[in-house]
Amino acid sequence: MRTFKIGGVHPNDSKLSSDKSIETMPLPEKAVIPLSQHIGAPATPVVEKGAHVVVGQLIAQATGFMSSNIHSPYSGTIEKIEVAKDAWGMPCPSIFINVEGDEWDEAIDRSEKINRECKNTPEEIIKKIGDAGIVGLGGACFPTHVKLGIRPPAKAEVLIVNGVECEPYLTCDHRLMLEHGEELLIGVTLIMKAINVERAIIGIECNKMDAIEHLRELAVRYFGIEIMPLKMHYPQGGEKQLIDACIGRQVPSGALPIAVGAVVQNVATCYAVYEAVQKNKPLIERVVTVTGDEVKNPCNLRVRFGTPLQMLVDKAGGLPGEYKIIAGGPMMGRAFSNIDSPTSKRTSGVLIMPRAKAKRQPEENCIRCAKCVSACPMGLEPYLISTMTEMKMWDGVEAAHVMDCIECGCCLYTCPANRPLLDYIRMGKQTVGGIIRGRAQKK
């Protein structure tokens, strides 16, 4: 079985909710829709205070090239538009909606019927994806229409679909592949048409054998789609690692996947593309895994954006005592600082960790055991970068390829001395990034 070649770790996969079907989350009474749910500029609101909106109606428009549309996930009245604290305590302009009933935009096809035929041209598909406000649902939230708008001379050769879900605990992509396999494959076909490739590979780690078999049976009817089982190996879901694992090509430092002819999309994004193109349904909801070792009822929920986090936590059995709540998986997820904050396009999982597990062990001297160097999937030297950052040797930090770091957390995960390697590397990356931008501006 294939995997990527350099580094990586093998955390316990702890997929507690892999056999729980996707449930639909009830609607909240009040919802907050952040206007920055993607990489790039926050969207510009196109509705006024007091206006009535329906589900699927455009409420904020993309600002410029690198941005994304936002649609109302609810029907109701706009209460106000003002700055609210997001999940990490940062101020973010948001639209507040008083939810009234569940009235949908009439253009949206809400039937269960699977719509297999596509008459759209590639340009129309990309336009529809952009209009629907689709962003990469693997966690980075890069606007999908920007990623698919490949400019010559770059040419895509293969579409790689990320069904790896290498983060421990998360099962939302796994359930999506099992329950909406057919729709997902249609979505893959649509993207293949949009970027004009004849080959797609869906990479899935072998702890999801049921999903692999299920998609293999379905893929027989779809031309050019190959299901590729991969060895369990974190961080295989990283874009560069996944390309290496699936087609054995390594994206050079600083380049994008298109440099080796690959385009990577997450399975959840493919499903969203199907809904947008075939059903006219914009991106207003996603599947979220709510889980944790001491959670009473780990589950997979279909959640509309703007639903307060507290509702998800209550659905899974509530919080007895003090906990750390993480948006995403335990390796790369960010800890929430605000439990009243809404879910957004970024929320792939809600992981609840008890206090005892949430605490880091005390830090010791670096014993130079080289375990971080062996674990780094980018072939960097975390011990060296973190020490140089500590000493503010920015030239050295840059020369050590700090900008290649994908922040996967393998170094800190593996460090026997519990050194905060990644914390320092992030700091080094930010500073060096600033220095590089400054240099570019001077020229």
Partner 1 sequence: MIVSPSPHIHNNDSVRRDMLNVLIALLPAYIITLFYFGSGAVYLTALSICTCMLCEHLIQKFVFKKPSQLGNLSAIVTGALLALNLPSNLDWWIVIIGAIVAIGIGKMTFGGLGQNPFNPALVGRVFLLVSFPAQMTTWPKPSPMHFEIDYTDVETGATYLTQMKEGLVSNPDYADLFIGSIGGSMGEISAIALLIGFIYLICTKTITWHIPVSIVTTVFVFTGIVFLVAPEGHADPLIHIMTGGLLLGSVFMATDYATSPMTHKGQLIYGVGIGIITSVIRLWGAYPEGVSFAILIMNAATPLINHYVKPTRFGETVKKEGK
Q: Please, what is the Cα angle at 47 between 42 and 51, to 5 degrees?
A: 145
Q: With CA atoms as reference, report the closest residue to 410 among 234, 195, 190.
A: 234
CB of 170 to partner 1, least distance (A): 13
CB of 252 to partner 1, least distance (A): 4
Q: With CA atoms as reference, report the closest residue to 249 among 234, 235, 236, 259.
A: 259
Considering the complex, state which of residue 46 and residue 140 has its C-beta at the smaller distance from partner 1: 140
Cα maximum dimension of the chain: 64
In the sheet that holds 299-304, the strands lie side by side as 22-24, 299-304, 285-291, 349-354, 323-327, 334-335
Considering the complex, state which of residue 118 and residue 358 has its C-beta at the smaller distance from partner 1: 358
Considering the complex, state which of residue 9 and residue 22 has its C-beta at the smaller distance from partner 1: 9
Is 389 strand, coil or helix?
helix
CB of 413 to partner 1, least distance (A): 5
Considering the complex, state which of residue 32 and residue 309 has its C-beta at the smaller distance from partner 1: 309
CB of 428 to partner 1, least distance (A): 14
Q: Do residues 189 and 222 make contact, with C-beta atoms less than 8 angstroms apart? A: yes
Q: Phi/psi of residue 419, each to 5°?
A: -75, 140
Considering the complex, state which of residue 32 and residue 332 has its C-beta at the smaller distance from partner 1: 332
The single-letter DSSP state of residue 55 is B
Tell me the residue type at 105: D
CB of 9 to partner 1, least distance (A): 7
CB of 352 to partner 1, least distance (A): 11
CA atoms within a 13 Å half-sphere pointing along the CA-CB vector of 21? 4
- Give the total residue count for the chain: 443
Considering the complex, state which of residue 198 and residue 314 has its C-beta at the smaller distance from partner 1: 314
CB of 422 to partner 1, least distance (A): 7
Distance CA 301, CA 408 (A): 26
Residues of this chain that bind partner 1 (CB under 8 A): 6, 9, 11, 168, 240, 244, 249-253, 255, 260, 322-326, 330-339, 351, 353, 355, 357-361, 364-371, 373-374, 376-381, 383-384, 401, 404, 407, 409, 412-418, 420, 422-423, 426
Q: Please, what is the Cα angle at 125 between 123 and 130, to 5 degrees?
A: 95
CA atoms within a 13 Å half-sphere pointing along the CA-CB vector of 322? 5
58: enclosing H helix or E strand: strand 58-61
Is 102 strand, coil or helix?
coil
CB of 404 to partner 1, least distance (A): 7
Is 59 strand, coil or helix?
strand
Helices and strands in the chain, H and E counts: 14, 17
Considering the complex, state which of residue 187 and residue 333 has its C-beta at the smaller distance from partner 1: 333
CB of 243 to partner 1, least distance (A): 10
Q: Spell out the residues 6+ positions from residue 88 whose beta carbon is closer than 8 angstroms to its own.
A: 334, 336, 337, 338
Distance CA 386, CA 419 (A): 9
Considering the complex, state which of residue 271 and residue 323 has its C-beta at the smaller distance from partner 1: 323
CB of 427 to partner 1, least distance (A): 10
Q: Do the bridges between strand 299-304 and strand 22-24 make them parallel or antiparallel, or are there none, so unpaired?
A: parallel
